Amino acid sequence: MKTSAFDLSHPLQTLSAAREQMRLNIHLLSMDARQKWSEFETKILSLESKLGQEAESLSEATASAAIDLSGSVKDFVDNHVRNIKH
């Protein structure tokens, strides 16, 4: 059994937290921000599917994609949601 050399626990936690925060605040975003989030969510779902398929033999490309996407999503949430006054 081959095990992955990549630790994706932090990027996956970032994506999970961002998705939860967006579910709670999506109604407060502009239409442009909602569209951008929809694009991110599509990428997140695609990445989750790929991670499920690669399970134990995670490729470097998939690991890199997860890390890059989590950074982009975190920046998006920081810029669009965390600054919203409730």
Segment 53-64, tens digit of pLDDT: 776 677 788 888
Which of 3, 42, 2, 50 is closest to 19 using CA atoms? 42
Q: How many domains does the chain have?
A: 1
For residue 38, being part of any structural domain is answered with: yes
For residue 18, being part of any structural domain is answered with: no
For residue 8, being part of any structural domain is answered with: no
For residue 6, being part of any structural domain is answered with: no
For residue 16, being part of any structural domain is answered with: no
For residue 75, being part of any structural domain is answered with: yes
- pLDDT digit string (tens) for 11-67? 888 888 888 888 888 888 899 999 999 999 999 999 888 877 776 677 788 888 889
Q: What is the pLDDT of residue 41?
A: 92
For residue 56, being part of any structural domain is answered with: yes
Q: What is the pLDDT of residue 86?
A: 53
Give all strands (DSSP E) within the chain, no chain letters. none
C-beta atoms surrounding 12 within 10 Å: 16
In Å, how far from its chain's centre is CA 66?
A: 7
Q: What is the pLDDT of residue 85?
A: 58
Which structural domain range is residue 40 located in? 31-86
Annotate 15-61 with three-state secondary structure.
HHHHHHHHHHHHHHCCHHHHHHHHHHHHHHHHHHHHHHHHCCCCCHH
Whole-model pTM over 0.85: no
Residues 6+ apart with CB under 8 A from 17: none
Categorize the per-residue pLDDT at 75 as very low, low, confident or very high, splitting at 50, 70 and 90. very high
